[in-house]
Amino acid sequence: KEAMTNCQTVNKAGCTFFSGQINDVDVVLLQSGIGKVAAAVGTTILLDEYQPDVVINTGSAGGFDSSLNLGDVVISTEVRHHDADVTAFGYEIGQMAGQPAAFKADEKLMDLAEKALEQMANTHAVRGLICTGDAFVCTAERQAFIRENFPSVIAVEMEASAIAQTCHQFNTPFVVVRAISDVADKESPMSFEEFLPLAAKSSSEMVFKMLELVK
C-alpha cells in the first residue's frame, strides 16, 4: 500500500481493496483475511469488479521441500486442496466435484517470478505444488497425510487453492509466490509469529520486482 500512488481504498464484505499504481502499473491490492472462504470472497469481488489481467497471490507458507529454509520463496506450478475429499464419488483426493484436480499456474507469470528472483540477492526459490487447507499444519499426523497423498508438495498454506479455483472459474491467469515462514521437520530459532513480518517483506519484494519487469 505504501508504495502505491493515487491510492484509493474500498472496504467490502470484510475485505479491503487498495487500487492505484506501482511503478506506473495499475494494481489492486486485496487484503482478504485468513482461510479459503475469505480468500474466495475477496478474489471473486476483485475479479468481478476490477477485472485484472492477472492475479499474483503472495504471503507466507510452510515449507515441505527439504531444500527450503526460512525466507526462501516458493513459486506455484500448480495448486491443490489438501483438505478436500470426495473420493467416494470417483474424484482424486484433494479434488472438488466438478473442478480439476490441480489448478495450473500461468507459465508466463512463473517465468516472470523467476526473472524477478534473479534480481534478489541471496534468495533461494523452489517451483512446485502448493497445497491449501483451512488448518495450520502443525502436527506430525497431518504432515504425514499431506506427504502421502501429495508427494510432490513443496509448501502448504491457507488461501491459494481458493484463489486459484476462483481464477480458474473466471479464466484469469494466476501465480502464487510465497515466502517460507516455517519448515516441516526443521528446528527454527524463530517462531512463526516472529518470522511472519520477514516472510511478508520477502514475498512482497518479489512482487515489486515482478511489477518492474512487467513494464
Taking only the tens place, the pLDDT of each residue in 126-142 is: 999 999 999 888 888 99
> What Rg, from alpha-carbon coordinates, does the chain have?
17
> Is 150 part of any domain?
yes
> Is 42 part of any domain?
no
The CATH number linked to 64 is 3.40.50.1580
Q: What is the pLDDT of residue 191?
A: 61
Average pLDDT over residues 91-105: 97
Tally of structural domains, the chain = 1
The CA distance from 168 to 102, in Å, is 10
Q: In the predicted model, what is the mean pLDDT of the chain? A: 91
Say if strands 103-104 and 55-63 run parallel, antiparallel, or are unpaired.
unpaired
> Is 89 part of any domain?
yes
> Is 175 part of any domain?
yes
The CA distance from 166 to 103, in Å, is 10
Q: How far is CA 154 from CA 77, 159, 203, in A?
A: 10, 15, 16
Identify whether the C-beta of residue 19 lies closer than 8 Å to the C-beta of residue 10: yes
User: What pLDDT digit, counting tens, does each position of 21-48 carry?
Assistant: 998 899 999 999 999 999 999 999 999 9
Q: What is the pLDDT of residue 140?
A: 85
Q: What is the pLDDT of residue 28?
A: 97
Grade residue 1 by pLDDT with cuts at 50, 70 and 90. confident
* Domain of 90, in residue numbers: 54-214
Residue 186 clears pLDDT 70, i.e. is over it: no
Q: What is the pLDDT of residue 205?
A: 83
95-99 contacts, C-beta under 8 A, 24 or more apart: 96/165, 99/165, 99/168
3-state secondary structure string, 24-53? CEEEEEEECCCCHHHHHHHHHHHHHHHCCC
**In this predicted structure, which of 7-11, 69-73, 131-135 has the lowest mean pLDDT?**
69-73
Average pLDDT over residues 2-29: 93
Identify whether the C-beta of residue 32 lies closer than 8 Å to the C-beta of residue 159: yes
Determine the distance from the C-alpha atom of residue 170 to the mean position of all C-alpha atoms in its chain, rounded to a whole number. Answer: 17
> Is 31 part of any domain?
no
Residue 189 clears pLDDT 90, i.e. is over it: no
Grade residue 184 by pLDDT with cuts at 50, 70 and 90. confident
> Is 73 part of any domain?
yes
Grade residue 188 by pLDDT with cuts at 50, 70 and 90. low
Phi, psi of 127 (to 5 degrees): -95, 145
> Is 8 part of any domain?
no
Q: How far is CA 117 from CA 50, 113, 134, 192, 209, in A?
A: 28, 6, 29, 23, 8
User: What pLDDT digit, counting tens, does each position of 138-173 carry?
Assistant: 888 999 999 999 999 999 999 999 999 999 999 999
> Is 94 part of any domain?
yes
Average pLDDT over residues 59-72: 89
The CA distance from 132 to 118, in Å, is 27
